[in-house]
Chains A and B, each alone.
Chain A
Amino acid sequence: MAAEDLPSEFDVVILGTGLAESVVAAACSRVGQRVLHLDRRSYYAANWASFTFNGLLTWIQEQNESQTEEVRDWSSLLEEGEELLHLSDTDSASITNLQVFCYTNEEDEEEEAESADPLNTTEEEKPEEFSHDVFIRSDFQTVTFLNQSQAAQTPGEEPEAARPHPSAAQSQSEPTRKKLSYAQLVKEGRRFNIDLVSKLLFSRGSLVDLLIKSNVSRYAEFKNVTRILTYRHGNMEQVPCSRADVFASRQLLVVEKRKLMRFLNSCMEETEEQQAYNGRPYLDFLRDQQLGDNLQHFLLHSIAMVTEDTPTEEGLASTRHFLRCLGRYGNTPFLFPVYGLGEIPQCFCRMCAVFGGTYCLRHSVHCLIVDRDTNRCRAVIDSRGQRISCSHFVVEDGCVGSDRKKMATRAVLITDASVLPGESDQQVSMVTVPPAAAGGPTVKMVELCSSTMTCVPGTYLVHLTCQSTGSAHQDLSPVVTMMFRTTESEEPGNEHGRPFVLWCFYFNMADGSAVEVEGHQLPCNVYVCSGPDGSLGHEHAVKQAEFIFHKILPDEDFCPPAPNPEDIIYDGDEGAAGQEENQGEQEIYLQNHTEHNAEEEEMTPKTTKEKDKNQSRPQTHRNTRSMQH
């Protein structure tokens, strides 16, 4: 915790704690590189972060505050033949069009009745930004819609808010679906984990493979996405995607079930018939299979998750990937991390730290020191003006002023019910919403329940994502209006209908899929990590991290398994410790067991003076408290 100086020499300096940067950090540290990992933000995971509700409110405020960059002259730190290369210190372009809407009551009505001063009930939990008017700053495009009781408190810029509102009376007659107030959202704020990106892990995708291979998986737990839904003709429908689903489906006719089963079986192998469609739309191929509208819709939008003009070979590849992922962990191809996606970069950061990586948040790199002759980065100058030498520098794209051509559109909703209530209220749903009009963006929606530890019981967290065509609100508010209710809805009386939106926010985020690792007129030992890309999986970031790692260390293994804590052999002989490894800091020999049966093998030449024999190694670790009876 102390504000001591950083060491002045590292092998790899990494700025930014997004997913790709964190994987590179863990990979380098794991094979013995000295890694310094910095982030100018006060939190981990950059644009991959997840926030508590209160943390998100702070983040929203910060997006509005422009940081003034103090340009200082660091030339005194230069040596012969070196020059400075300044980095951009702000990342203002990565988040735009941020708008916040609150549709629930500010205070809980019952609480107000019980206690004269309800604010006292929230004591420590209450953040400074509790007041609504932080959202109504004129320089910031955000608006709050409040119920009638609060209308008087808000500046009169929203005529809708002043309209008489029947929902308060309605909710009293429906005590089973009592809405959480804004005060309660704030009070329970720490139980939310709201992701800035919305992605899922394909159960046979590269991130799952990497987590398993590296043993970083020990830091995370996952939930299965329990169902695939699609929005069609104004209804939410469940997509049958596994054999069991197809048989159990009540919406499919028997003849459709047969056709679907035949198709799913036959598409796994490439046939001449399929090849004949290469270059032609997948939709044409599906049409010619005589599947009917229902199945065609499911296959195109929910299983292949492609658009109507996607070529057949691409559509088939996506379909196969989806089908291959079924059944590894559950009945859908997808996993979601408990506590949110922001956990994943942090898992890799922890692994990096465990292997000696140094971590510093709220700490940045102002400029690079470049050797004129070799065009290599020799050192960096950090935000305290310290010269830190390094052999390689990895940086997030926001710091090098890369072009942002593509933007993704996002909306996050806290709702009071599931879009498709089922037997269980603990469903994790992946929903595809095909374009309302031809050529429009397909909206991907993920609905999370409270057991994912991302929202409080009684609420759902809904993430919407699409490619940006206008501002986030322009792109997504039609979809939100179609599937949810707000205090602006035309028919707010229908309590059993669509879920009610308690609170939501819209924003655009730069899509990093087009950002190149090298180039950008940077020294040859500087590599750029792109921010989150718009696709559903994590393939882009993992591929990028592996590419950068092999650029830095062409001959090293990428993320070999970290040893199991119980396999580590403590060596009491201090004298031997120093000479074997010339690192001086090493006090522990690591015995790397990649296989469960490796315990019998003599893998270490070192004397194993003390090994706890009375602890039989369990097959698995649970990092969580667990109870078995």
Chain B
Amino acid sequence: MAGGSVSECKEYLFKVLVIGELGVGKTSIIKRYVHQLFSQHYRATIGVDFALKVLNWDSKTLVRLQLWDIAGQERFGNMTRVYYKEAVGAFVVFDVTRGATFEAVSKWKHDLDSKVKLANGNPIPAVLLANKCDQKKETSNNATLMNNFCKEAGFLGWFETSAKDNINVDEAARFLVENILANDKGLPYEESNGDRIKLDQETVTAESKSGCC
């Protein structure tokens, strides 16, 4: 795929949020998925906005996935709009060994839906991750209950994941991207963002060549 003709390849950039309570393993999941790393030691996330994962989805589609971690200290739930805006998908993470983190899932989902929507007004696709499943006590989770919860809370689905043992992380991401792509195809291009300006690109127009009058 590398070096393939650019004109034939559709390239997507998707902003995906990773949210959930303190210490549920958001950063570990991102690091596992993007950098194939896992560290036992928990530390708050400093200096990292998002991590980029490039997926060769199929022969005609390249997906750049920006995974936005919540800054470790935004833990009081007061996220800036900068974090939410123009996101097209989300993982909500909880820790299977700590019940309270599951109870907070609905709050996070509600916050998510109130802060960001797709262009058509629908909620952005969200997948629930039951993380640290490697430490799970036997049958502490009921699949039927979880399915019902997802249906009620508006999650596309749920995965038992372990960033430590690399369980289901890729699968969950694949599931979310599939849904984002499906949404994308259903949506008309409602506007061209082409004339938006990023300040790090020095757009030198003909005007500046001619000097400032």
Contacts and interface: CB of A to CB of B under 8 A. Distances in A.
Contact of B39 (A190, A335, A356, A587): A587
A364 to B, nearest CB: 14
A18 interface: no
B35 to A, nearest CB: 5
Interface stretch (A158-166, A479-487, A564-572): A564-572
Given A223-B197, A570-B37, A242 B52 contact: no
Contacts of A628: 10-11
A358 B76 contact: yes
Interface string B152-164: 0000000000000
B80 A615 contact: no
B207 A570 contact: no
Interface string B29-45: 00100111101110111
B49 interface: yes
Of listed A44, A264, A335, A565, residue having the most chain B CB within 10 A: A565
B44 A242 contact: no
Contact of A350 (B66, B80, B195, B199): B80
B41 to A, nearest CB: 5
Given A265-B213, A323-B213, A208 B195 contact: no
Given A565-B50, A623-B66, A339 B85 contact: yes
A592 to B, nearest CB: 10
Interface string B69-101: 001111111101111011010000000000010
Contact of B81 (A268, A346, A355): A346
A242 B49 contact: no
Interface string A210-226: 01100101111111100
A621 B82 CA distance: 15
A1 B13 contact: no
B10 A218 contact: no
Contacts of B21: 1-2
B49 A243 contact: no
A131 interface: no
Interface string A34-58: 0000000000100000000000000
A73 interface: no
Given A343-B81, A623-B66, A356 B13 contact: no
B15 A44 contact: no
A627 B212 contact: no
B74 to A, nearest CB: 5
A361 B12 CA distance: 35
A221 B10 contact: no
Interface residues of B, number: 70
A338 interface: yes
A568 B47 contact: yes
A359 interface: yes
A190 B116 CA distance: 10
Q: Chain B binding site: helix, strand, loop or mixed by DSSP?
A: loop
Nearest to B196: A221
Contacts of B205: 327, 329-331
Interface string A9-37: 00000000000000000000000000000
A210 to B, nearest CB: 10
A590 interface: yes
B86 A223 contact: no
B193 interface: yes
A601 interface: no
A615 B35 contact: no
Contacts of A355: 46-47, 71
B66 A223 contact: no
A2 B22 contact: yes
Nearest to A190: B117
B22 A212 contact: no
A572 B199 contact: no
Contacts of B40: 574
A405 interface: no
Contacts of A627: 10-12, 184, 189
Contacts of B10: 627-629
A623 B199 contact: no
B71 A338 contact: no
A612 interface: yes
B74 A359 contact: yes
B77 A1 contact: yes
Nearest to B14: A625
A625 B34 contact: no
Contact of B76 (A190, A243, A354, A360): A360
A264 B39 contact: no
B71 A353 contact: yes
Nearest to A570: B35
Interface stretch (B103-111, B132-140, B143-151): B103-111
Q: Which of B51, B54, B207 has the most CB of A within 10 A?
A: B207
Interface in A310-366: 323-324, 326-331, 335, 338-339, 342-343, 346-347, 349-350, 353-361
Contact of A625 (B12, B73, B197): B12
Given A218-B49, A326-B212, A570 B31 contact: yes
B196 A222 contact: yes
Contacts of B49: 218, 350, 354, 562, 565
A626 interface: yes
A44 B82 CA distance: 11
A460 to B, nearest CB: 16
A385 interface: no
10 contacts: A1-B107, A211-B199, A327-B208, A328-B202, A330-B205, A354-B71, A355-B71, A356-B47, A359-B80, A628-B10
Interface of A: 1-2, 4, 44, 190, 208, 211-212, 215, 217-224, 242-244, 246, 261, 264-265, 268, 323-324, 326-331, 335, 338-339, 342-343, 346-347, 349-350, 353-361, 451, 562-563, 565-566, 568, 570, 572, 574, 584-588, 590, 610, 612, 614-615, 619-629
Given A4-B76, A562-B49, A587-B43, 4 more contacts: A339-B81, A350-B83, A625-B12, A626-B193
